[in-house]
Amino acid sequence: MMFGSIGVPELIIIFIIALLIFGPRKLPKIGKSIGRTLAEFKRASSDLKSTLEEEIESEEPKPEVKKEKEKPHHELQG
């Protein structure tokens, strides 16, 4: 399993360092907080992307269909 350019051994080392720094009691709270932050960031970036796509679509020129005005039926018979 690769997480970006970080492999499993690197993740284990990061986890051990975090466990030593924060302790076993605070680590789940920190993980939950980081998860919420990442989810909110993902949601915000998705909203921004959809808003930008909508703006780009609304700015694109739309092809106009020009119809010739039809002559009234009585003028065609002449």
Q: Give how far the C-alpha of residue 73 lies from the chain's centroid of Cα atoms, to the nearest Å.
A: 56
Angle, alpha carbons 12-17-18 (nearest 5°) = 95
- Tens of pLDDT, residue by residue over 45-78, are 999 999 999 988 888 776 665 555 555 556 555 5
pTM: 0.51
- Tens of pLDDT, residue by residue over 27-41, are 889 889 989 999 999
Encoded tokens for 31: 């993980």
In the chain, where the domains are located: 24-55
Which of helix, strand or coil describes residue 3? strand
Encoded tokens for 33: 């907080």
